[in-house]
Amino acid sequence: MANILVVDDAKFIRVTLAGILEQGGHTVIGEAENGEQAVNVYKRLSPDLVTMDITMPEKNGMDALEEIKAYDSQAKVIMCSAMGQQKLVVQAIEKGAKDFIVKPFDENRVLEAVNRVLS
């Protein structure tokens, strides 16, 4: 199973997502609450996968995605978005995100996306 970095500015979302991932047999090795932290934690921990919120303070998920992909072209990132952000999701895929999951999270969809990206 995978070592995962969970990035979201809302603690509640990070806790919820970590619970889903851990029930699915994965290990959450780190958390970040903005894109700046996400890049730093990614470089320090080299997770197998990142779940990344799009809208965050200081540095948004799109900018963090670009920075992580520039640092590690093999990085596997799944973007998280609220309903109605489809345009941003398309941009994220174009920038190298492997998949996206929509909030509120569907547990099966989250694990399906994670397992597909890791395979």
pLDDT greater at residue 103 or residue 15:
15
What ranges do the domains of the chain cover? 3-103
> Closest Cα to residue 51, out of 119, 103, 91?
103
pLDDT in tens, 85-96: 678 888 999 999
Amino acid at residue number 24? G
Options 3.60.15.10, 1.20.120.1200, 3.90.1300.10, 3.40.50.2300; CATH of 3-103: 3.40.50.2300
How far CA 77 is from CA of 10, 27, 48, 101, in Å, comes to 18, 16, 9, 11
pLDDT in tens, 17-34: 999 999 999 999 999 999
d(CA 94, CA 92): 5
Spatial separation of the C-alpha atoms in residues 110 and 106, rounded to whole Å:
6
Of 68, 69, 65, whose CA–CA distance to 79 is shortest?
A: 65
